[in-house]
Amino acid sequence: MGDSFAGMGYKNSLDIPAYTAQFGLDAFEYQCGHGVRLGEDKARQMAALAAEKGVLFSVHAPYYISMSSLEEEKRLGSIRYLLQSCAVCRALGGRRVIFHPGSCGKQSRADALDKAMDTLRRAMEALDEAGYGDMTLCPETMGKIGQLGDLEEVLALCSVDRRLVPCIDFGHLNARTLGGIRSQADYAAILDRMGEALGDERASRFHVHFSRIEFSAGGEKRHWTLADTQYGPEPQPLMELLARRGLAPTIICESAGTQAEDAAALRRMWRAGEQKEL
C-alpha cells in the first residue's frame, strides 16, 4: 500500500480493494514478505470485497525463501513457506504467488541454480499433493548481482514446469546490469528473450514489478518513485511497447510510498500507447 492509504481515511486490510479501485486499478499484490500472517477467514472477506471492485490479488511470499540454500532444512522450509503463501492466496481469490529464488552464497551460480531448480521441482510436487496444483508460482528477477535471479536464471527456473510464470522486475534487471535498460530496444530484447525461452502464453501473461531503483556496484540499493527521474529505468518506453505488442501482463508498481499513484500513472502510459496503435 502507498502512504496515501491512511491519508485517504482507509484503516485496515479490508479497505485494500476500495483503495485500489479508487485509483482505477484492478490488481494488488499482498505482501507476506515477513511471514504469512493474514488469517484465511479475513482473506476470504477481502476476496469478496475485491470481487465486488474487480480487483485481483496476488501474494508475495516471504523474503527469506531460499531455494538454493546449502542447507537442506532451509530448502524444505522454503517449500513450506510457498505452501502457506498458496493457502492465503487462494483465500484471497488469487492465483499467483511471487517469490525470490535465493542467493548464490559460497557456491557457483550454476550450482545455486541447480539446487533452486531441484527445490522448485519438489515444491511443485508438494503443491500438487496439497491441492494447490492450480496455483501459479512466479520466480522474480532480483536486483543484487550476488542474488540468484538474472533473466536467464529465472527463465531456467520456469522451464521446470509450464505452470511457472516469470516475474520480471525491470527495476531489478536495470540495477543488476548497472543501468543496462536505456532504451525501448533494451526492453524489447528482454521481452524477445522471454518469448523465445517460454514459447507459450506465459510470455504474454507474465508478471511485472516496476519501480525506479538506485543502484551501486553490487546492484540494487533503494527504491524511488516515478518522480525521481534521476534513477532508471524509464517507464514510458516499456508501457508503450507492451501496448504495441498486445501483451497482457499483471503489472505491480513498487515505488517507495507512491505505489498506487504511480501504478495509475503506468496505466495511463499504457493506455496512451494503445491509442497510438489505433
Whose CA is closest to 207, among 67, 94, 63? Answer: 94
**pLDDT tens figures, 236-247:** 999 999 999 999
**pLDDT tens figures, 67-122:** 999 999 999 999 999 999 999 999 999 999 999 999 998 999 999 999 999 999 99
Q: Which grid cell is 142?
A: 532480483
Percentage of the chain with pLDDT > 90?
96
Q: pTM for this structure?
A: 0.97
Cα distance between residue 146 and residue 163, in whole Å: 27
**pLDDT tens figures, 157-176:** 999 999 999 999 999 999 99
C-alpha to C-alpha distances, 130 to 78, 89, 121, 126, nearest whole angstrom: 15, 14, 14, 6
CB 70 within 8 A of CB 28: no
Q: Which value, to the nearest 10 degrees, does the dihedral of the CA atoms of residues 159, 59, 268, 221 take?
A: -80
**Contacts of 1 by beta carbon, 8 Å cutoff, 6+ apart:** 16, 19, 259, 260
Q: Which amino acid, 96?
A: R
* Band of residue 213 on the pLDDT scale cut at 50, 70, 90: very high
What is the pLDDT of the chain when averaged over all its residues? 96
**pLDDT tens figures, 3-15:** 999 999 999 999 9
* Band of residue 278 on the pLDDT scale cut at 50, 70, 90: low
3-state secondary structure (DSSP) of residue 31: strand
User: What pLDDT was estimated at residue 114?
Assistant: 97
**pLDDT tens figures, 248-272:** 999 999 999 999 999 999 999 999 9
User: What pLDDT was estimated at residue 275?
Assistant: 80
Mean pLDDT of 219-231: 98
What are the structural domain ranges in the chain? 4-277
* From the candidate CATH numbers 3.20.20.150, 3.30.460.10, 1.10.287.70, 3.90.850.10, the one assigned to the domain spanning 4-277: 3.20.20.150
Is residue 144 over pLDDT 70?
yes
Q: How many residues does the chain have?
A: 278
User: What pLDDT was estimated at residue 277?
Assistant: 63
Q: Which grid cell is 149?
A: 535471479
* Band of residue 273 on the pLDDT scale cut at 50, 70, 90: confident
**Rounded to a whole number, what is the largest CA-CA distance in the chain?**
54
